[in-house]
Amino acid sequence: NAGVTQTPKFQVLKTGQSMTLQCAQDMNHNSMYWYRQDPGMGLRLIYYSASEGTTDKGEVPNGYNVSRLNKREFSLRLESAAPSQTSVYFCASSRMGTGAGDTQYFGPGTRLTVL
């Protein structure tokens, strides 16, 4: 039982390049989330998927797209990377997304640098 896994762990991109961050969970959770964490800013929600087949914007969605590929996998795509997207990205999952204060389980993060 690996929990939430993220790939890659580290990535360096040049401005304008694209990439996809992968996330998978093996806990049969319904809801999945993508956050970014920046120094002095805390964790901010980029996109979330309350259930398979649905996705919604969070606080900071500009410059990102997501795909809920199936119940296990939720990917985050940067179409044209910008230096402002340099950050640590965390994927999380929870059993249900009903606003009940369910536990979110976080992956280990992807450290992205955009030059």
Partner 1 sequence: TQLLEQSPQFLSIQEGENLTVYCNSSSVFSSLQWYRQEPGEGPVLLVTVVTGGEVKKLKRLTFQFGDARKDSSLHITAAQPGDTGLYLCAGVRGNNRLAFGKGNQVVVIP
Check whether the bond before 8 is cis (ω within 30° of 0). yes
Query: Can you tell me which of 21, 74, 107, 112 binds partner 1, judged by CB under 8 A?
Result: 107
Amino acid identity of 112? L
Q: How far is the CB of 80 from partner 1 (least distance, A)?
A: 26
Rounded CA gap, 61 and 45, in Å? 8
> Which is nearest to 47 in space by CA: 92, 86, 84?
92
Q: How far is the CB of 17 from partner 1 (least distance, A)?
A: 25
Q: How far is the CB of 15 from partner 1 (least distance, A)?
A: 26
Query: Can you tell me which of 2, 40, 53, 62 binds partner 1, judged by CB under 8 A?
Result: 40
